[in-house]
Structure 1
Amino acid sequence: MAGIDNITGRILQVAQGEVDKVLAAAEDQAKEILGKADLKAESIAKAAGARSEQQTKLYAARVKSSAESTRKKALLSAKQEIIDSVIDKAYNQLINQDAASYFEMMQKILAKTVRAEKGTIALPAADLARVPDSFKKAVSKIAEDKGGELKFAEKAANIDSGFVLSYGGIEENCSLRSIFAANRDQIQDTICKVLFS
């Protein structure tokens, strides 16, 4: 799946610029929060002349701790936004790539999911309109190489990309959306390592 890796690499490069902007904005916001907390702590300390110095310091420490917690939440939220954006961009680039690259990717996914049984493969309506004969031949060969047989379903699958395999009434959803969902944690971990390490 070198094509996916290349696309993901390009998306990650573009996302790095977004990461820097969002993190800088979050850091500015965090500094502003901490600055306000310091001012509030000073104000409280001055106003609390009757309170003991220790109580004032404890309260000021709690205010700073709360501000730091707010800063960390803002950074975490910004990072999650970036990760979601990168995943969405990767998904959209994969489903919108040229037909040759798209169906080559589908062949690779099929090679990993096909069984040594007789079954059917259903494509979404959008893919049925653009499926090349070379893909149809490749589907038959991939199935035969595994000791199985696949015929194209007459009805379109109710998915936006990928395919659905059916063996004896049991369906296996191989849409890109379901593949992304099944691997979301791994994808997020990879993005985090690349962008935030």
Structure 2
Amino acid sequence: MSNVKNITSKILKDAEAGKENILATAEEEKNKILSKKISSANEIAQEILEKAEVEAKSKKERVISSAKLKVRNNKLAAKQEIIDEVFEKSIDKLTELSKEEFLNFVKNTISTMNLTGKQTLILNETGLKFVDVAFIEELNSKVKAQITLSEKAGNFKGGFILENEGIEINSTFEALVSSLRDELEFEVAQVLFS
């Protein structure tokens, strides 16, 4: 019986030692796994932080770039508004021509045109006050066309329109300044903003 007890006792001791060994190995394995997971989690956290930092920097750059673009566009819009004003004022200045200056403008402009047939001279209210029958007769003596004065005033700031069977030659101040604007806008901008 004592042999059985000894064997049982030895089996129990061996089992206890095996249990301790298994538990120690399991604890060691657990610590290795935890260490790897913690290390992996720290790496992921670092990657997330770096990515967030890059995204924040990129977003900041986009916001700054957008703000600079908006400022530039506002500046360009303000400059364009000033240029528009300059051309509008040039039209207004032309509308201030004296009667003599206006009549010379009409006469000189029409005399350079190669006109034929019946032409109707359309003027605005101010132009109608300046032009009389004698002026129309003088025009007709200088051109090959037969010019008549429209009694109806045109809706424009100044200058004139010649109309022949629905075809118009637009020599209003607005049209003349507009046609010169493409050529002059760059020069005007340089004078104003350099």
TM-score when normalising by structure 1: 0.60
Aligned to 2:171: 174
What do the CA deviations read for 1:103-145 (whole angstroms, capped 9, x no partner)?
Answer: 22222322344413343323223212123677445522431xx
Q: Which amino acid aligns with 1:177?
A: E
Task: Determine helix, strand or coil for the equivalent of 1:163.
Answer: strand
Rg bigger for which structure?
2
Q: For the residues of structure 1 that align with 2:90 and 2:49, how far apart are their CA atoms?
A: 57
- How many residues are treated as equivalent by the alignment? 144
The alignment status of 1:158 with 2:154, answered yes or no, reads yes
Q: CA deviation at 1:70?
A: 1.1
Q: CA deviation at 1:168?
A: 3.9
Q: For the residues of structure 2 that align with 1:131 and 1:109, how far apart are their CA atoms?
A: 15
Aligned to 1:191: 188
Q: For the residues of structure 2 that align with 1:59 and 1:118, how far apart are their CA atoms?
A: 68
Q: For the residues of structure 1 that align with 2:114 and 2:68, how far apart are their CA atoms?
A: 51
> Share of identical aligned residues, percent?
26
RMSD (CA atoms)? 2.7
Task: Give the direction of change, closer, same or farther, for the CA distance of 1:156–1:187 in structure 2 (3 Å limit).
Answer: farther
Unpaired runs of at least 5, structure 2: 1-47
1:138-153 equivalences under 5 Å are 138-143=138-143, 148-153=144-149
Task: Determine helix, strand or coil for the equivalent of 2:130.
Answer: coil
Task: Give the direction of change, closer, same or farther, for the CA distance of 1:104–1:51 in structure 2 (3 Å limit).
Answer: farther
Question: Which has the bigger relative contact order, CA under 8 A and spacing at least 6?
Answer: 1
Aligned to 2:91: 91
Aligned to 2:56: 56
Residues 122 and 153 in structure 1, CA contact (< 8 A), matched pair in contact too: yes
Residues 165 and 173 in structure 1, CA contact (< 8 A), matched pair in contact too: yes
Q: Which amino acid aligns with 1:156?
A: K
1:18-167 equivalences under 5 Å are 51-52=49-50, 53-131=53-131, 135-136=135-136, 138-143=138-143, 148-160=144-156, 161-167=158-164
Q: CA deviation at 1:179?
A: 2.5
Q: Which amino acid aligns with 2:155?
A: I
Residues 159 and 175 in structure 1, CA contact (< 8 A), matched pair in contact too: no
Task: Give the direction of change, closer, same or farther, for the CA distance of 1:56–1:125 in structure 2 (3 Å limit).
Answer: closer
Residues 121 and 150 in structure 1, CA contact (< 8 A), matched pair in contact too: no
Task: Give the direction of change, closer, same or farther, for the CA distance of 1:75–1:55 in structure 2 (3 Å limit).
Answer: same
Q: Which amino acid aligns with 2:172?
A: S
Q: For the residues of structure 2 that align with 1:132 and 1:100, how far apart are their CA atoms?
A: 12
Task: Determine helix, strand or coil for the equivalent of 2:139.
Answer: helix
Task: Give the direction of change, closer, same or farther, for the CA distance of 1:189–1:138 in structure 2 (3 Å limit).
Answer: farther
Task: Determine helix, strand or coil for the equivalent of 1:119.
Answer: strand
What do the CA deviations read for 1:8-36 (whole angstroms, capped 9, x no partner)?
Answer: xxxxxxxxxxxxxxxxxxxxxxxxxxxxx
